[in-house]
Chain A
Amino acid sequence: MARVWIFGQDINTDQIVPGRYAPYMLKNEADLRNYPFVEHRPDFAPGVQPGDLIVAGNNFGCGSSREYAPLALRLVGVGAIVAPLFARIFFRNALNLGIPCFTADLTSTLRDGQEVELRLEEGVIVTDEGQHIQLPPPPAFLRDVWAAGGIVPFYRQYGRFPGEAR
């Protein structure tokens, strides 16, 4: 089972990882795993378990281009992020790192701390109350990138960009 972590709207990358905690600023870059939401939600990094689900409001990840924001989420094993709208750079960065992002508003459907099962390949969340929530599939041209585990393995495997003719 995975835990649901509910976040509000317009969560910016400074809230995900403040610039002061960038790998550039750290003695030991591996420490980045301790810093997702370090100031915005200090109970997140110590409590998150691999596979957990971030369920957020509109415009998740707005702000800077810092890939270390989604990287920090990947380091702690976030299983997927669900939000009605993702900021563009964050979405690309998460895609490139192989973090599944689903476009849906579940902030009032799921509760913070709720236990759910995420069936990634089916795009389904099953709640502890047995409710099945179907997530909208990602755009077809991006599905292969997630399947490959990110843009680097995708590019190395296929030698082309998403959406480019084979």
Chain B
Amino acid sequence: MQTLSEQILSRAAGRTVMAGEVVTVDVDLVMMHDSLSPSIIRVLHEELGAERVWDPERVAVVIDHVAPAASVQTAEKQADVRRWVKSQGIRHLFDVGRGISHPVLVEEGLARPGMVIVGSDSHSTAYGCVAAFGTGMGTTDIALAAATGRTWFRVPETVLVRAEGRFRPGVSAKDLALYAARRLRADGATYAAVEWHGVEFLSIMERMTLATLSIEVGAKAGLVPPVFAEPGAILPSARAEVRRSALQPDFLQVQAGARYSQVLTVDLDRLEPQISAPHTVDNVADLSELGRVAIDVVYLGTCTNGHYEDMAAAARILRGRRLAPGMRMLVVPASAQALQRATADGTLMTLLEAGATIGTPGCGACIGRHMGVLAPDEVCLFTGNRNFRGRMGSPQANIYLASPEVAAATALTGYLTHPQEVEASLPSQV
């Protein structure tokens, strides 16, 4: 009996493998983004001596980390990457505005269940939202994978997070993930994979919230089993073939008797909104434990919580209300499809009418490079995945991580706020 990671890596290795073994596997997809592509291209050609990538159909390049370019240097490097992509015959280039690599590759149907996907981004665990074994690597590993179509892994043990029940109002996938970080700690799943069970009711992008945060407990991969309550309704914006591809592959399923190194059971019916306070992701408390924390800017975005679902959740709370005096709220959609969907159904207008503003789909200020970096002593409520000191700009800034629901409620009051407090105390004008 095998975990999902053991099943996927067995198929990729061409033999049955179990946790602890070191294996060389074929990779199905290599993702690289603008921030590391220049160095990957250099290592590929100058150090490894490869002239071509092993398979241009299985390399995806995404310009999301500084998109659009913020300086002459970044613009020049992006131009170099575009020229290289063309020279290599790579079709899967997703340029400025298409969005963050992780949702984009899922929307495009390039990331599919059972695949082994390596990306030049630590949040490549994201592909676990469609039950792919996605993992982040650095420049040299990605260059080697792009040159050979292969890489090596130690087959990970698996930490099982088993959710029971349903979220209460104002509580969502982010709270489950932050609670898991609170219990497992920042190193709790190092060298292991995380499997998230009991979340069949979540959409693909809500699952991505769990999958991306798996790296924040050190995990190599973070997989949600490919089981769906309503197969047709997983990715309403995606093409039909993508929706079909999200279905369960024959070889991949949760097997009774698979061995888990640790099991964490979470009762969703009792889960409160969780807040990750500065400066580590596992510094988590119930919102109700924190007292009054004043916030200067609310930032809704990233591969963790910048999806259509997250904008819609915020819009439900912001509808007919206005941001607190002096509050800034930045919304940076995770992908162009998410933005289009939010535009089509009025979600975007609701956000704008409340006083929020919008940025180009992409990584935005998550890496502190542009589009909303923080000043010393500013306090940001961030729906993203890291609150490390200096992450979003000044090392003297403070970042609190929370759900999009808490983000919206906080934008209305100016301090960390439970969504239900807003519903009770601030009447909607609609």
Known contacts A59-B186, A164-B152; decide if A19 and B138 are in contact (CB<8 Å).
Answer: no
Size bracket of the A interface: 35 or more
Quick one: CB contact mask for B144-172 with A, threshold 8 Å, 1 for yes? 10000011100000000000000000000
> How many pairs of residues, A versus B, come closer than 8 Å at their CB atoms?
140
CA distance A3 to B268 in the complex (A): 50
Interface string of A127-166 (1 = CB under 8 A from B): 0000000000000010000000011100110001111100
Question: Closest approach, in angstroms, between the C-beta of B60 and any C-beta of chain A?
Answer: 16
For the complex, is B389 an interface residue (Cβ under 8 Å from A)? yes
Contacts of A26 in B (CB 8 A): 73
Check B150 against A63 for contact (C-beta < 8 Å): no
CA separation between A59 and B354, bound complex, in Å? Answer: 42
Given A15-B388, A62-B186, A163 contacting B73 (CB threshold 8 A): no
With a cutoff of 8 Å between Cβ atoms, the chain A residues found around residue B34 in the complex are: 24
Whether the pair B367, A19 counts as a contact (CB closer than 8 A) is yes
Give the Cβ gap from B137 to chain A, nearest Cβ, in Å.
6
Bits for B300-315, please: 1 = Cβ < 8 Å to A, else 0: 0000000000000000
B155 CB to nearest chain A CB (Å)? 11
Q: Are A89 and B190 in contact (CB under 8 A)?
A: no
- A162 and B152 contact, CB distance less than 8 A: yes
Query: 1/0 contact trace for B36-70 toward A, CB 8 Å?
Result: 10110001000111000000000000000110000
| Chain A residues, CB < 8 A from B367 | 19-20, 64
User: At the interface, yes or no: B187 with Cβ under 8 Å from chain A?
Assistant: yes
In whole angstroms, what is the CA distance A97 to B144 when docked? 13
Q: Say if the beta carbon of A88 comes within 8 Å of chain B.
A: yes
A39 contact set on B, CB distance < 8 A: 389-390, 395
Closest to A70 in B: B138
B321 interface residue (CB < 8 Å to A): no
Chain A residues, Cβ within 8 Å of B74: 24-25
> Is the beta-carbon distance between B187 and A62 smaller than 8 angstroms?
yes
Q: Judge whether B23 is part of the interface by a CB distance below 8 angstroms.
A: yes
Q: Are B122 and A65 in contact (CB under 8 A)?
A: yes
Whether, in the assembled complex, A22 has its beta carbon less than 8 Å from a beta carbon of chain B, the answer is yes
Q: Which of A23, A92, A96 contacts B38 (CB 8 A)?
A: A23
Question: Which of B36, B47, B190, B388 touches A63 (beta carbons < 8 Å)?
Answer: B388
Q: Is the CB of A87 within 8 A of B389?
A: no
**Could you pull out 8 A-B pairs where Cβ atoms are within 8 angstroms?**
A10-B280, A15-B388, A59-B186, A62-B187, A92-B137, A92-B138, A155-B144, A162-B152
Query: 9 tightest A-B contacts by CB?
Result: A67-B138, A163-B22, A19-B367, A93-B138, A59-B187, A161-B152, A67-B139, A96-B140, A65-B136
> Residues of A at under 8 Å CB distance from B?
10, 12, 14-15, 18-20, 22-27, 39-40, 58-59, 62-68, 70, 85, 87-89, 92-93, 96-97, 141, 150-152, 155-156, 160-164
